[in-house]
Structure 1
Amino acid sequence: MSLSTSTPPRLPCGAEFAQLADQLWHGVAAGDEYAATEIVLRALDDGIEPESVLLDVIAAVQGKVGEEWAANRISVAQEHAATSINERAVAALALHPAARRTPTLGRITVACVDGEWHALPARMVAEVLKLRGWQVDYLGAQVPAPHLISHLHTTKADAVALSSSIATRLPTAHAAITACQAVGVPVLVGGAAFGPDGRYARLLGAEAWAPDARTAADRLAGGPLPRPQVDHQQMDDLPHLADQEYTMVTRNSDNLVRTVFHALEDAFPAMRAYDDMQRERTAEDLAHIVEFLATALYLGDEKLFTWFITWTAQILVARGVPAQSLPPALNLFARELKDFPRAARILQRGVEALTTAPRTTTGKPA
């Protein structure tokens, strides 16, 4: 059946979207990929616009998956399983006759930053762009910059859509952005890593930023991205890196974590009663603190670290772990980094954020 003779897709009301999302959530939460896929395919058979199924149903359910994990109502394993089912639903949608489009526009490469394993947001962008008429090369998760550049040389893409959900991947994203621009390809970035208002996209020199897949497609439909300006280096973008604090903290991260982990037993005596699993999780949390500290140093943005540390406190409280262990840990890191003024200041801001964050009725920071 050709698109020219098919029934035009319909756009259901918000209540119908909510009902479909609720049905899909129950299938996803039950681990039933067959039921989840059937819900998506039935919606398409009923004539609902594929882009709406993608973004107003599947993406909405994936957002709930993240919320349920953060609230400790599902485990990490359940979160991974749910995400996998949503990925299967997207794949089923992409193969449905209602989603088939003949490319009439240019060519876009969609990829995740190296080290970024949250591929579903990028996949959503890729599928929406296909529906809008673009030829899309979807490269998936964790794409090393050299591989990305090699692909661009081969395909002559009009633009790259680069995705990252984890802020600690921003230094790597900066390198990828710069590499794409060096071969003349403009970059549109998106994902939670770049900030809710795209502040880090601008800081890192991307030609465009979009908060979601629909906005990304609209931006690309509005005309070609500006050609890259390649007469600068990363140090010109981020002159504060000249103090080498980012480099030194990154190089010594393992030693920092090890030193603070052992010192924390004295600074936070409750840790002495931790079992092996709790001690392992504490070491992981300390490693994340160093990663976000390094990223805040790279970006020159204290707010990134204070956001992360208050979010971490909420996650710990939701899991029944005392967040009181965080200020002693930050103070110990500050002691080890006393010769690094920017790092010490960022850590102090973290302590202040923990002690001044408003509390909800559940005891969690608001």
Structure 2
Amino acid sequence: MTPHPVRRPEAMDLGPARELLWSAVHQGDEHGAAAVVLDALESSGEAETVLLDLIAPVQAKVGTEWAANRLTVAQEHTATAIHERVIAVLAHRPESRGESPGGPRVTVACVDGEWHALPARLLAEVLRLRGWRVDFLGAHVPTPHLIAHLHRTGPRAVALSSSIPTHLPTAHMAVTACQAAGVPVIAGGAAFGPDGRYARALGADGWAPDARGAAAVLERGLDRPGPPAFQQTVEGLPHLADQEYTIVAATTHQLVKQTLADLEDRFEPMRRYTERQRRHTAEDLAHIVEYLATSLYVADEQLFTRFVLWTADILTARHVPARSLDPALDLLALQLKDFPRACRTLAHAREALAERTPLTKIPGPGKPA
């Protein structure tokens, strides 16, 4: 049996509804948010439109506002929790029921360590609306448990979600394990790159930039992988033979500790840091090393450079001197002088930082974006 055909609603202006929903989640008003979403559902008659053209854009704005330091972490978590609960309300409305008992089965899950489950939840609900039988496993699914579920349920495909690029090595293990179990994988989420380049590098059978695209790919069908495809995936990253990723990943704690100690001599303002500021600096350095390791894993210097420039913007928005990034990268390069790929990656990021004069700033409240 094939999934239900998708009705294409007429264009609908959801701009006012987005403003109302943003205001509600910004204020932590769950009942107000639910009222906005249900009103939009009544007006459009299309739950998929409400999910993807109303809730999803507002959730994206939540992330943007946090990055610009206009939302606290607590506010960001509150807004996300409200969206999750509103999606649950929406999913149980009679207008939103589309799952067919005889429909094809699909598993939707986040990779191990990935706690950003809302994108996967949106996909799960869209697939249900289109007639799929969906097993939504949620956030942070350890690969052995995922594979056990596949053996028990025999789905047509796995939709694997990840938002954070540092989970790509773990995603690779999940992809190959699913394929070894005979189940094809479609990958999605920001971690896999805007054009899906990392999904392809890790051997995924499909990729899509959003839930509509993923549903379309699944409806067209993915070929079940065999042993040759699995072998190709394993051999698809020959650069890992140089052991740079393995060693950098294994020595993250040591690299962070040494860089933190040396940075105090190189960056004079650090000598006046409070204990809290030093702790945050150590956390930032740990993220830098993790992203460096991930860049080595997928052999893409741009992944690391994008993260460093994003970090510079985050620091600037929080009135922290982003110029401290350059000496930190230099100190890491000194420790990794015998690792040519790591040194090239660090040098590329330093060059990109130097080209920002001054560093790009995220607009403050009331300023044009």
Q: TM-score, normalised by structure 1?
A: 0.94
Closer, same or farther: CA 12–61 of 1 in aligned 2, 3 Å:
farther
Which of 209, 215, 218 in structure 2 is aligned with 1:217?
Answer: 215
Partner-residue secondary structure (3-state), 1:354: helix
Structure 2 distance, partners of 1:75, 1:363, is: 16
Structure 1, unaligned stretches of length 5 or more?
A: 1-7
2:336 corresponds to which residue?
Answer: 337
Counterpart for residue 148 of structure 1: 146
Structure 2 CA distance for partners of 1:309 and 1:360, relative to 1, 3 Å = closer
| Per-residue deviation, 1:332 | 0.4
Alignment of 1:296-315 (within 5 A): 296-315=295-314
Among candidates 40, 44, 66, match of residue 43 of structure 1: 40
Whole-angstrom CA distance in 1 between matches of 2:313 and 2:121: 29
1:73 corresponding residue in structure 2: 70
Cα deviation for residue 45 of structure 1 reads 3.1
For residues 129 and 102 of structure 1, what CA distance do their matches in structure 2 show?
8
Counterpart in the other structure of 2:92: 95
Which of 143, 160, 163 does residue 162 from structure 1 map onto?
Answer: 160
Does the CA contact (< 8 Å) of 1:310 and 1:357 recur in 2? no
Give the corresponding residue for 2:3. none
Does the C-alpha gap of structure 1 residues 363 and 159 become closer, same or farther in structure 2, counting only changes over 3 Å? Answer: closer
Task: Please state whether the residue corresponding to 1:271 is helix, strand or coil.
Answer: helix
Distance 1:282 1:250 in 2: 19
Residue equivalent to 1:281: 280
Whole-Å separation in 1 of the counterparts to 2:44 and 2:338? 63
Task: Map Cα deviations across residues 31-89 of structure 1 (whole Å, 9 max, x no partner).
Answer: 01111112112222335300000000000100110110111111111111111111111
SS of 1:74's equivalent in the other structure is coil
Alignment of 1:109-124 (within 5 A): 109-124=107-122
> Hey, what does 1:31 align to over in structure 2?
28
SS of alignment partner, residue 203 of structure 2 = coil
- Matched residue type, 1:192: A
Distance 1:51 1:85 in 2: 18
Unaligned runs of 5+ in 2: 1-5, 364-368
Identity %: 60
Question: Aligned partner of 1:41: which letter?
Answer: L
Aligned: 1:257 with 2:256: yes
Residue 184 (structure 1) aligns with: 182
- Corresponding residue of 2:56: 59
Q: Which residue type is aligned with residue 322 of structure 1?
A: P
Deviation at 1:357, TM superposition (A): 3.3
| Residues 107 and 134 in structure 2, CA contact (< 8 A), matched pair in contact too | yes
Contact 1:309 1:350 in 2 (8 A): yes
The code of the aligned residue for 2:167 comes to R
Compute the displacement of 1:10 (Å): 8.8
CA contact (8 A) 2:162 2:189 kept: yes
> How far is the alpha carbon of 1:9 from its aligned partner?
8.4
Asked if structure 1 preserves the Cα contact closer than 8 Å seen for 2:126 and 2:215, the reply is yes
* One-letter amino acid matched to 1:21: R
Q: Is the Cα–Cα contact under 8 Å of residues 10 and 47 in structure 1 kept in the other structure?
A: no
Residue type at the aligned position of 2:28: G
1:271 aligns with 2:270: yes
Alpha-carbon distance between aligned partners in 1 of 2:99 and 2:279, rounded to the nearest angstrom: 51
2: distance between equivalents of 1:361 and 1:266?
27
Distance 1:102 1:238 in 2: 39
1:363, 1:204 → 2: CA distance? 33
Say what the alpha-carbon RMSD is for the aligned residues: 1.8
- In the alignment, is residue 327 of structure 1 matched against residue 326 of structure 2? yes
CA contact (8 A) 1:186 1:228 kept: yes
Higher mean C-alpha deviation, range 172-181 or range 84-93: 84-93
Asked if the contact 1:177/1:187 (under 8 Å) is kept, the reply is yes
Alpha carbons of structure 1 residues 13 and 47: separation in structure 2 relative to 1, 3 Å = closer
User: In 2, are the aligned partners of 1:9 and 1:47 still within 8 Å (CA)?
Assistant: no
CA distance in 1, matches of 2:207, 2:280: 34
For residue 86 of structure 1, what is the aligned residue in structure 2?
Answer: 83
Cross-structure match for 2:366: none
- Equivalent-residue separation in structure 1 for 2:357 and 2:299 (angstroms): 26
How far apart, CA to CA, are the structure 1 residues paired with 2:358 and 2:113? 34
TM-score by length of 2: 0.93
Q: Check the 8 A contact 2:176/2:234 in 1, yes or no.
A: no
Please name the residue that 2:354 is paired with: 355
Consecutive aligned runs of 4 or more in structure 1 exceeding 2 Å deviation: 8-15, 42-48, 357-364
